[in-house]
Amino acid sequence: MSKKEFEYAVGDLAWFVPYGQKRAAQGEIYMMNLDISPPWVTLMTLEDSKYRTISPELLADTAKDAKKIFQSKCDSQEKTSKE
DSSP, res 22 = S
Tell me the domain boundaries of the chain. 13-78
| Res 78: pLDDT | 72
Backbone angles phi, psi at 28, to 5 degrees: -100, 130
Residues 6+ apart with CB under 8 A from 82: none
| Res 23: pLDDT | 93
**Contact by Cβ (8 Å): 6, 34:** yes
pTM: 0.84
**Per-residue confidence of the chain (83 residues) as pLDDT tens digits?**
445 578 899 999 999 999 888 899 999 999 999 999 999 999 999 999 999 999 999 999 999 999 999 999 888 877 776 66
